[in-house]
Amino acid sequence: MDKAQQLKLENAEIAAKLKGSLLLFIQSFFPLLTGRDFIISRPVGRESHFITICRALTKCTRLESLRLLINVPPGHGKSVIVSFWIAWCYAKWGDCNFLYISYAKTLAATHTETVKRLMMLPQYKALFDVHLRDDSQAKDAFTTEAGGVVAAFGSAGAITGRNAGLPGLERFSGAVVIDDSHKPDEVHSDIIRESVITNFRETIQQRPRGINVPIVFIGQRLHEQDLPAYFLAGEDGYEWDRVILKSIDDAGNALYPEAFPLDMLKIRQEKDRYVFAAQHQQDPQPAGGGLFLPEDFPLLAEEPEYAITFITADTAETEDPRNDATVFSFWGLYNIETLGRQTGVMGLHWIACREMRVEPKRLETEFLDFWQDCARHKQPPLTAFIEKKSTGVTLISILKGMRGLKVREIERTRKSGSKSQRFIDIQPYIASKQVSLPAHGTHTEMCVNHMKKITNNDSHAHDDIADTCSDAVRIALIDKLLYIHTHKDALFRSTTQEASSKYHRIAALKKKAYEKRI
């Protein structure tokens, strides 16, 4: 036997072994593609999640599982495994048709590009004799010489001219792969979330070309009414095979300790309860579950030393005061101290809060009255942030004419997310005890009781007080807008005399507004 025949025989043996094991295929080709070894995790008391996922995907290629749902936390290598799985399938069947779907087509295309790069490796082509057509090698859609196609799409977008699998075959011929169908910062929008489910129902599930073409969902949970929930409830008429992988398993051990050790996971679980429950534990908080706990809010016996103070205002959505409340909150930004030493972590003290139900024509008077009370504070506020909506627009236009007061508009855009998402965004800051209240404040019990009723799914009755808190946390702690908008003001803080003068100006404005009303 000459060397060429010997090499061909050895290659055939290697190819057979690699075709027989998805995990071995990944371990062999991952270093060739990335230059790094593929390290299989070693969790306590269970097999590696890499082995679990590979076994489930292998069952699909054997047509033992035609509807497969894999819930796995972020950062656990799911997209790598799925991309390698598709290339592994082509090593056995060059005519497979795959649809790779993610919440954004650009993200799906990133993963299909990984498939293409794998299949273009010299070692892959030499072992499996699978080649891509020269005229079809885009990263989001490419074709093999045997007629197999990989195409990337977005989960809420149109899917035209592409199908998954082949009709009339008793063997595996491709699949629909859905890898993270929802974008985390959009899933709490009912319209966007439901559009993904509608697109699956009306478009995606029509794309398998035969009865032996699997649909695979792999990704994290994000919402109790997301696409995986639709599958788990059997809403599409199928019983899905389920692989539910939690960051902290039922025995209390880390699923992927090499990347997410248990102590790190417990910190995340404590500080970011809702996100951790959904994305890491695959168990979105049930309806009615509160985002904020009373113990999240430290009650301070003494006032901190503030860097700056400000007001947030949430005015009524409608002109009928019975339907909606107007809320003004007064805040102080300060450096949190522990054992008499500053930590460098900034906190917000909820100095005062007033909730009222008034007609729009009384908003100016009520605001000036609240402002007048705040002006008596040792550090009067210099800026008010007011949401630009219905009744708030009128108030903004009036207050912008006041001297000694900066009025900043808060605009809600798609980028700022849904109301539920805004509350979820601030939850880690409140869980970290960065929002405090006066131990004996007249508003303290009202605010804490209100905040503990706020849920992730808008099942609470009112959220006007929480809206002012959400705005304050975003302004001061997340976006840090105070440093941009009020730094110059901070250099010219009011002296006692100036504060007194301002107090009298506000009183005069208040009187003028009252006289105008009557």
Looking at residue 279, the DSSP 8-state letter turns out to be: I
CATH number, span 294-517: 3.30.420.280
The three-class DSSP label of residue 242 is: strand
One-character DSSP codes across 92-154:
H-TT-EEEEEESSHHHHHHHHHHHHHHHTSHHHHHHH---EEEEEEETTEEEETTS-EEEEEE
- Would you kindly state where each structural domain of the chain is located, as residue ranges? 3-280, 294-517
Burial of 341 (0-12, 13-18, 19+ CB in 10 A): exposed
Percent helix, strand, coil in the chain, to 5, is 40, 20, 40
| The pLDDT of residue 485 | 46
* H or E element, residue 376: none
| The pLDDT of residue 493 | 41
Following CA atoms 295, 297, 300, 305 in sequence, which dihedral angle do they give, to the nearest 10 degrees? 150
The torsion angles phi and psi of 21, rounded to 5 degrees, stand at -145, 115
235-245 CB burial, b ≥16 within 10 A, e <16: eeeeebbebeb
With CA atoms as reference, report the closest residue to 292 among 452, 52, 146, 408.
452
pTM beyond 0.75, yes or no: no
* CATH topology agreement for domains 3-280 and 294-517: no
For 356, 387, 505, 507, the CA distances from 513, given in Å and listed in that order, are 18, 21, 12, 10
What is the rounded distance in angstroms from the CA atom of residue 332 to the CA atom of residue 330? 7
* H or E element, residue 275: helix 273-275
CA dihedral for 283, 194, 214, 130, sign (positive or negative): negative
One-character DSSP codes across 40-104:
PP--TTS--HHHHHHHHHHHHHTTS-SEEEEE--TTSSHHHHHHHHHHHHHHH-TT-EEEEEESS
What is the rounded distance in angstroms from the CA atom of residue 287 to the CA atom of residue 224? 8
Residue pair 48/42 in contact by the 8 Å Cβ criterion: yes
CA 293 to chain centre: 21
| The pLDDT of residue 141 | 93
What is the rounded distance in angstroms from the CA atom of residue 259 to the CA atom of residue 274? 21
344: left (phi over 0), alpha (psi -120 to 50) or beta: left
CATH of 3-280, one of 3.40.50.1400, 3.40.50.300, 3.40.1390.10, 3.20.20.70: 3.40.50.300
Task: Tell me the HSE value of 153 on the side-chain side, using a 13 A CA sphere.
Answer: 25
Query: Which stretches of the chain score pLDDT less than 50?
Result: 287-288, 321, 484-500, 503, 514, 517-518
| The pLDDT of residue 322 | 54
Residue pair 49/68 in contact by the 8 Å Cβ criterion: no
For 100, 449, 511, the CA distances from 114, given in Å and listed in that order, are 12, 50, 69
The torsion angles phi and psi of 474, rounded to 5 degrees, stand at -65, -45
| The pLDDT of residue 5 | 65
For 89, 194, 359, 407, 461, the CA distances from 364, given in Å and listed in that order, are 68, 40, 10, 13, 26
Those residues with Cβ within 8 angstroms of residue 288's Cβ, 6 or more apart along the chain or in another chain: 455, 459
Long-range pairs for 112-116: beta carbons < 8 A, 24 or more residues apart:
112/83, 112/139, 112/140, 112/141, 112/142, 112/150, 112/151, 112/152, 113/139, 113/140, 114/33, 114/79, 114/80, 114/83, 114/84, 115/83, 115/86, 115/87, 115/150, 116/142, 116/150
